[in-house]
C-alpha cells in the first residue's frame, strides 16, 4: 500500500480472528518501528508482547481484577475534555455503540462492551508499552510516535490494532504477569491481530477535524 492509504486504513478495531500472527511477521513490524524518532535518539521505550498461553492467562484474570476494584495506574488519568474535545469524545463513543447496535440508554450492554478491553477484544496478541523511569511527558511523546509506527506497520501488513489506555489500569498485574521490572511504567496496551471482517464493531469509522481547524500555515 501507499503511505497515505496505510494511514487512512488505520483505525481502532475491536474484533479479531482466532488466528495468530506468525512470529517472523511480528518481528518485522516491531523491527521497522524501531526507526521511529525520539528526543536525542534516547529511544525511551520497552514493549512486551503477550501471545499464546500467556495472553490466555491474562484474559482470564484481568476482567475480574478490574471489576473488583483492583486498579493500579502508573500515570494519572485526570485529563478533562471540554468544548470541541468533549464533542469529539461523545461523537466517537456514539459512533462505536451505534455500529454495535447499542442504544445510549442500554448501560448494561455498554458496560459489557467496555469490559471487552480486558479480554483484548479476542485478539491473539497484546503489546504493552512501557516508559522507563525517570522519563516523563517529553519522552511519553516519543513512546507515542513509536506506537503509531507500530500500528501503521501492522496496517501495512493487513493486520489491525486497538490502542487501549484501559489496560494501564492494571499496571501492577501486567508487570507481575510478564516479569517486568518495577522501574518500567505502563503507558497503554495495544491489542492486535487479523481483523474480523464480520464484526459490526469494526465498521465504526470516526470523523476527523478538517485541515483548516487544526493546521495553520504561515508564509
The whole-number pLDDT of residue 38 equals 97
Give residue limits of the domains in the chain: 3-79+119-200
For the segment 26-39, the average pLDDT, to the nearest whole number, is 98
The whole-number pLDDT of residue 133 equals 96
Three-class HEC string of the chain: CCHHHHHHHCCECCCECCCCCCHHHHHHHHHHHCCCCCHHHCCCCEEEEEEHHHHHHHHHHHHHHHHCCCCECCCCCCCCCCHHHHHHHHHHHHHHHHHCCCCCCCHHHHHHHHHHHHHHHHCCEEEEEEEECCCCHHHHHHHHHHHHHHHHHHHHCCCEEEEEHHHHHEHHHHHHHHCCCCCEEEEEEEEEECECCCCHHHHCCCCCCCHHHHCCCCC
**pLDDT tens for residues 108-138?**
999 999 999 999 999 999 999 999 999 999 9
From the options 3.40.50.1220, 3.40.109.10, 3.40.50.2300, 3.40.50.720, give the CATH code of 3-79+119-200.
3.40.109.10
Model confidence at 1, in pLDDT bands (50, 70, 90)? confident
**pLDDT tens for residues 174-207?**
999 999 999 999 999 999 999 999 999 999 999 9
The whole-number pLDDT of residue 114 equals 94
The whole-number pLDDT of residue 79 equals 83
**pLDDT tens for residues 67-112?**
999 999 999 988 889 999 999 999 999 999 999 999 988 999 999 9
**pLDDT tens for residues 16-32?**
999 999 999 999 999 99
Amino acid at each position: 500500500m501507499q503511505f497515505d492509504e496505510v494511514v487512512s486504513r488505520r483505525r481502532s478495531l475491536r474484533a479479531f480472528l482466532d488466528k495468530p500472527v506468525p512470529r517472523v511477521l511480528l518481528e518485522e513490524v516491531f523491527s521497522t518501528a524501531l526507526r521511529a524518532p525520539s528526543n536525542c535518539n534516547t529511544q525511551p521505550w520497552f514493549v512486551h508482547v503477550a501471545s499464546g498461553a500467556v495472553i490466555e492467562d491474562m484474559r482470564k484474570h484481568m476482567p475480574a481484577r478490574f471489576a473488583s476494584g483492583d486498579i493500579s495506574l502508573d500515570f494519572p488519568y485526570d485529563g478533562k475534555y471540554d468544548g470541541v474535545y468533549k464533542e469529539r469524545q461523545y461523537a466517537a463513543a456514539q459512533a462505536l455503540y451505534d455500529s454495535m447496535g447499542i442504544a445510549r440508554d442500554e448501560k448494561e450492554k455498554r458496560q459489557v462492551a467496555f469490559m471487552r478491553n480486558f479480554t483484548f477484544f479476542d485478539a491473539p496478541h497484546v503489546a504493552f508499552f512501557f516508559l522507563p523511569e525517570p522519563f516523563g511527558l517529553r519522552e511519553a511523546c516519543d513512546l507515542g510516535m513509536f506506537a503509531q509506527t507500530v500500528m501503521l506497520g501492522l496496517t501495512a501488513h493487513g493486520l489491525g490494532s486497538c490502542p487501549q489506555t484501559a489496560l494501564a489500569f492494571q499496571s501492577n498485574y501486567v508487570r507481575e504477569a510478564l516479569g517486568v521490572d518495577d522501574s518500567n511504567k505502563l503507558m497503554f496496551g495495544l491489542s492486535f491481530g487479523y481483523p474480523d471482517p464480520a464484526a459490526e464493531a469494526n465498521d465504526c469509522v470516526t470523523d476527523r477535524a478538517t485541515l483548516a481547524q487544526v493546521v495553520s500555515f504561515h508564509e
